[in-house]
Amino acid sequence: MTHRFALRVYYEDTDLAGIVYYANYLRFIERARTEWARARGVDQLRLHRESGLVFAVRQIEADYLRPARFDDRLEVATAPAEATTARLVLLQEVLRDGEVLFRARVTLVALGSDGRPRRLPADLLAPS
């Protein structure tokens, strides 16, 4: 199941030409992943407090297809692609009016407070 997260491009998100600065797409998809996890019942702050568990991006493949501009209304679509007990791969797209502007394949892992890999929470691995 695909989760959708809406956002608007602010002046601070753009470069001198009024185009979204490339690194900000990573911020957009990070926010969307947080909301995706929250929608699945995962409270990351509580998880960290109670078990020391945090999520880390292990790998990301990004494809910049079209520019977003100042004041655009965007939507980030997030969908799980693969999962094991130790890693989760999500497909994320940034869209404007249904047109894909940016696409990423993100591999997440869970780390304990000691920085070592841990099992991912079952809520993230369960089918949507």
Helical segments of the chain, H only:
22-39, 44-51, 122-125
CA dist., res. 28 & res. 17, Å (int): 19
- DSSP code of residue 128: -
Q: Which residue out of 13, 15, 43, 63 is catalytically annotated?
A: 15
- How do 117-118 and 73-83 pair as beta strands? unpaired
Say whether 15 is catalytic: yes
* Residues carrying an active site annotation: 15
